[in-house]
Structure 1
Amino acid sequence: MKLLRSSSALLMAAGLLFGGLTASAQDAAPVTPMTPDVIESYDPVLPSADFIRREVMVPMRDGTKLYTVIVMKKGTKNGPILLSRTPYDAYGDVHRVPSQRIVDILPAMDIEFAEDGYIRVYQDIRGLHRSEGEFVLNRPLSGPLNDTGIDEATDAYDTIDWLSKNVPESNGKVGIIGSSYLGFTALMATIDPHPALKAAVAESPMVDGWIGDDWFHNGAFRVSSLEFALWMAVNKGAGGGGLALGAGDQYTRYLEAGSVADFAKSVGITHVPGVRKFLENPAYTDFWSLQAVDKWLAARPLKVPTMIELGQWDQEDSYGGPAVYRALEPKDKNNDMVSLVIGPWRHSGANHYGYELGDLTFTGDTAREWRVKYVKPYFDHWLKGAPKPNTPPVLTYATGINEWQESPRWPMGSSKPLYLSADGAASFDKPAKAGHDDYVSDPAHPVPFIPRPIDMSDADQWKPWLVHDQRFVSDRPDVAVWETEPLEEAVHIMGAPEVELFASTTGTDSDWVVKLIDVYPNDVPEPAIQGSKPPMPGFELPIGIEIFRGRYVDSLAEPVALKPGEVEHYKWSLPNVDHVFLPGHKIMVQVQSSLFPLYDRNPQTFVDNIMYAKPEDYQKATQSIWHGGKSASSVVLPVVE
């Protein structure tokens, strides 16, 4: 009977619908075979939609207008505003799926907010997509590098001022959230903030593009930056199809091209301003150091509660979040305005589905768990007056045992060196006898960062590359390997492992890549609680991988040639992690001198600007990693006893 009643109702509704269409059609002129088939417009939002969507042009202080989309559920009153300022097309962010439901048209990260009366706002930043003005990549703060008085901080201020006064459904309180470039714009909004800005969540933010975020890592250039610069320069950020590299192995494409400048010339992009910025500024001069967002924040008072999030295996912006935390945390006198979150994710993975990464699986949707249990209550408190949330100063996910952990500070671990020794051994005991292990690094045969063929535009290759099994290179003669005996007790690290590398080269320049690896037992299937997809015997799981360009051993701004045969002491950090090496596992360290084509090749002959190295500059070199005595190479682990 219920089915019959439902069917009858559907038929009646259909009759009314088609009756309305027929009546409307009867009012119009009859169609003929020659009636033009183009209409002026079509609004896919029907009266039955459960949301309101407005598109406005918000004026900035210099008269430039920025395209802004405002979305809320029908009936919203006294709702808080949640803002994201993006270079990636605000229109597309709120038109994800043609639908009459707000939860369908918005990204997955917005669902909980959209259903709870939040007013979601996306805005194209200056000069991109539908906004007016000129786009400047990571536009510097007004000051030594920018004399216009206009930057992302002022644009955020003007936007928030307009929204708080012109959205009648709002309560006048604004929060800002975003990942990657949007993490950068979120942090910029907290510099000299508008009084209506009450809270910020900066996810995987771009903070320092030279030290360890998108463009360089400790001086080594990430060649994929060229395509990003091109994409943002063409058609107001809509791109033009990217680099026409074809379907072949990019390892071969970049190797055959030669230097970065030679490659840029071969694909016709040397005139692109963003590309020129990279080519002409390879060192950490004022050009880059005065753009570092953490330095800007460190110089100003803390006014906005800020949550900083990043993925433990963030393949794009692993440096920025912890750098901002270090800048802000000393200002947080009551330990309640700044929080740091590190989850088991890739770049921007917190906004998607957090069940797995590469060959690793976790206990449920870790990303949604963080958004629901921590982010939503956080904004509810600051924007809606809800009770004070249980926001810990530091929240990290302990990989290896798969559990969330709350901490009062970061890092939590105490320094414990893992020393490299003779015969490929690694130990917490410092070797007394000095020695060295050698390998030959040949720029003509660089070590690939993932198995070939390589396509960095392939998301399945790019997003999980930092958890890829390292056995594909561990037996190469140009990769030096040390490992411990099977652990008798668990080793828990919470912080950023520090590299203390004593090394020499027969060349006059060199790159050094250090990998910290969790080696799974080769004969025991892993229990499910460890988050692996069994079986994974012998798996070599990277816990941290980072590079350092040797010419910057004395100064990041003024490179110097290395002296052949002279032992240099290199120091840099691996990414921040919370990880447990379980009993029966081994801890491995790998050292190599290339990670290609993710990073450009070091010619191993000193030249003023590596970007313009000539074919004859690329020379083989014998690399020596020293251990024991006064040159005791180690990776200093932040161990929680």
Structure 2
Amino acid sequence: MIRTFLIASLLATTPAMAQTKAHALTDPMTPDTVAVYDPVRAEADYIRREVMVPMRDGVKLFTVVVMRKGTKDGPMLLTRTPYNAGGATTRNRAQKIEEILPVMDAEFVNDGYIRVYQDVRGLYKSEGDYVMNRPLRGPINTTRVDHATDAYDTIDWLVKNVPESNGRVGITGSSYPGFTALMALIDPHPALKASVPQSPMVDGWMGDDWFHNGAFRTFAFDYIVGQTAKKGGGRVPYSDADQYEVFLKAGSTGDFVRKWGLDDFPAVRKFMEHPDYDQYWQEQALDKLLAKRKLTVPTMLVVGQWDQEDSYGAPAVYKALEPQDVNNDMVHLVIGPWRHSQVNYEAASLGALDFEGDTGLQFRKTVMKPFLDQHLKGGPKADTPPVMTYATGANRWERSDRWPVGPGKPLYLQPGKALAFTPAPAAGMTSYVSDPAAPVPFVPPPYNGRDRAVWTTWLVTDQRFVATRPDVISYTTEVLTQEVHIAGQPMVDLFAATSGTDSDWVVKLIDVHPGEDSLHPKTAGMQLPIGIEIFRGRYAGSFETPAALVPGKVTNFKFGLPHVNHVFKPGHRIMVQVQSSLFPLYDRNPQTFVPNIFNAKAGDYAAATQSVAHGPGQASAIWLPIVP
């Protein structure tokens, strides 16, 4: 009897029994919906708070604050995102903090950081109107608010309302959140002590998401539909079978827009109404806006060498801000061997390329976190170099005190499709016919751009699939007898003519691997692109005011390739490919000058003979930033 009583007493006082809720018998017709279910259980090792943070205009932004239980005097790391703050902080609905947050957060929350995610205004659970890439207050944004003011107001609220914090805030994020991290640097809150913008959207016309040197990137349409359609969104409802054929059959980009009802989207109309580099784009160019202000927040700009979406922004901002950095310790540049945003994931490989370990984790642990610890925790002082880049080809991290590291040296395009560091002795031309009816594909067809594996690796796709096309010229050096190490931005200095009145020029810098390589069988014979860029010919004289090209007249086209650190090894060759389309990544140039290419008619599309000049006075070249 006594034993029975003791067992009953113990059972009655166990935690599980103590927490059991008493429920009355349930009516069979009781509605089965509940208002809220909290997935964070008592055994969770973290605290997760959802709050609506007020902005200066009365709009409230949905914000999630996450920290490990017991956190005290913790620095706050903020990300302002259009990609669902709630989803980013409930990744696995787990009870461990590392499992509910993105992979990149583990090193921080395991060391006392408080992680904060916020929906930008107008998306997900935040109030207000969503304007894609909301411009800074000024000529094209006459409201009181922008991402700079929203960041300021958010930080002000956080330091006053998160008692577990030390009152110091850092901001980070990749792509669009990289853009918002940069916007926070304009009139920054005093508590903002560091910023790490990754692959930030900086200038959507010059070289980030929407245009490159005036050529339009068609993948923008799926993004716009997914971001801005409140109902029925997701993506444009065409077949995934082969987007090369889908866009080709549609006609002009404007025809494609009208066919799929995309002209109902204000963001699409803005693109079509501003095909040139007018005030609309110039007032959004963050590198120019930041250059006009004094940098007061230590900033680390991060980008991937093979970033397929936002390769332009980080180096452009570094170039704009570096002249202010008199002590070489306020603005830093990091270039890793990554695709877009790969810095925040596993990064031991990309396509056929293998690196020395997980380069993303290496960066986060040995570069980014010490940098943030110094500024958000008050020390110790980090050994942060002004520039940190990964030398692909040699597979090593390198530190330098400036960027570019090497001075420019011309590699000349030669007759007979040769490539050499000495100019051609005589003038001449190498020609091909570019036909908009059969544009050069940017990846091997059939092309499904919604296949993530294809999209994330197209910049490292073996270029042998186009090297023998008659509308692609492949200039190649002799086999290298010593390494050629470049660190900076290769610059295109192309002298060329067209029989049309407009033309695109695509230039690729390529590392040709030896055909036999038993140590590296995945890359044997590969034509590995180191940098690819396009230039719309109508802008040779002015980005703001396009003009027709004069048929047959040689024009000098100057533009940059993406910034790289790469070693061309002995036994390899350097190749430069020149072509006039990269489809359907970029819209087709009709090769007949029209006021707005979005609205080109079927009769405007015409084949043209393209001629690349070489020799004295017209020495086409790629200027390589060669490390001495």
TM-score of the two chains, using structure 1 as the length reference: 0.95
What amino acid sits opposite 1:52 in the alignment?
I
Matched, 1:390 2:383: yes
For the residue of structure 1 that corresponds to 2:271, the secondary structure is: helix
Matched, 1:544 2:539: no
In the TM superposition, 1:181-580 aligns within 5 A as: 181-235=176-230, 240-525=233-518, 527=519, 534-580=521-567
Residue of 47, 51, 59 corresponding to 1:56: 51
Residue of 157, 161, 173 corresponding to 2:152: 157
Match of 1:3 in 2: none
TM-fit CA distance, 1:247: 2.7
- Tell me, in whole angstroms, the C-alpha distance in 2 between the residues paired with 1:141 and 1:583: 49
- Tell me, in whole angstroms, the C-alpha distance in 2 between the residues paired with 1:145 and 1:477: 46
What amino acid sits opposite 2:609 in the alignment?
T
- Tell me, in whole angstroms, the C-alpha distance in 2 between the residues paired with 1:34 and 1:275: 49
TM-fit CA distance, 1:337: 0.8
TM-fit CA distance, 1:41: 2.3
What amino acid sits opposite 2:597 in the alignment?
I
Alpha carbons of 1:464 and 1:15: their partners in 2 closer, same or farther (altered >3 Å)?
farther
TM-fit CA distance, 1:424: 1.0
Deviation per residue, 1:294-339 (Å, 9 max, x gap): 0110000010000000000000011100000011111111111110
Matched, 1:96 2:76: no
Deviation per residue, 1:68-106 (Å, 9 max, x gap): 000001111111110000011110110111111000000
Identity of aligned residues (%): 60
**RMSD of the alignment, in Å?**
1.5
- Tell me, in whole angstroms, the C-alpha distance in 1 between the residues paired with 2:132 and 2:115: 25
TM-fit CA distance, 1:40: 2.9
What amino acid sits opposite 2:471 in the alignment?
D
Q: Would you say the 8 A contact 1:230–1:274 is kept in 2?
A: no
Q: Would you say the 8 A contact 2:240–2:450 is kept in 1?
A: no
Larger CA deviation: 86-95 vs 27-36: 27-36
What amino acid sits opposite 2:23 in the alignment?
A
Match of 1:78 in 2: 73
TM-fit CA distance, 1:628: 1.2
- Tell me, in whole angstroms, the C-alpha distance in 2 between the residues paired with 1:346 and 1:431: 36
TM-fit CA distance, 1:539: 0.4
In structure 2, the gaps of 5 or more residues are 1-9
Q: Would you say the 8 A contact 2:433–2:607 is kept in 1?
A: yes
How many aligned positions are there?
A: 619
Match of 1:620 in 2: 607
TM-fit CA distance, 1:35: 4.9
What amino acid sits opposite 2:578 in the alignment?
V
TM-fit CA distance, 1:55: 0.5
Matched, 1:133 2:128: yes
TM-fit CA distance, 1:279: 0.7
TM-fit CA distance, 1:535: 3.9
- Tell me, in whole angstroms, the C-alpha distance in 1 between the residues paired with 2:363 and 2:509: 27
For the residue of structure 2 that corresponds to 1:121, the secondary structure is: strand
- Tell me, in whole angstroms, the C-alpha distance in 2 between the residues paired with 1:14 and 1:39: 29
Q: Would you say the 8 A contact 1:68–1:124 is kept in 2?
A: yes
For the residue of structure 1 that corresponds to 2:302, the secondary structure is: strand
- Tell me, in whole angstroms, the C-alpha distance in 1 between the residues paired with 2:613 and 2:235: 43
Deviation per residue, 1:87-129 (Å, 9 max, x gap): 1111011011111100000000100111111110000111111
Residue of 88, 94, 101 corresponding to 1:106: 101
- Tell me, in whole angstroms, the C-alpha distance in 2 between the residues paired with 1:395 and 1:35: 62
Match of 2:4 in 1: none
What amino acid sits opposite 1:190 in the alignment?
L
- Tell me, in whole angstroms, the C-alpha distance in 1 between the residues paired with 2:491 and 2:594: 28
For the residue of structure 2 that corresponds to 1:607, the secondary structure is: coil
In structure 1, the gaps of 5 or more residues are 1-11
- Tell me, in whole angstroms, the C-alpha distance in 2 between the residues paired with 1:268 and 1:336: 50
TM-score of the two chains, using structure 2 as the length reference: 0.97
Larger CA deviation: 263-272 vs 30-39: 30-39
- Tell me, in whole angstroms, the C-alpha distance in 2 between the residues paired with 1:316 and 1:541: 18
- Tell me, in whole angstroms, the C-alpha distance in 2 between the residues paired with 1:591 and 1:458: 27
Residue of 613, 619, 622 corresponding to 1:632: 619
What amino acid sits opposite 1:46 in the alignment?
R
Deviation per residue, 1:238-279 (Å, 9 max, x gap): 872211012320000000001111001111110201000111
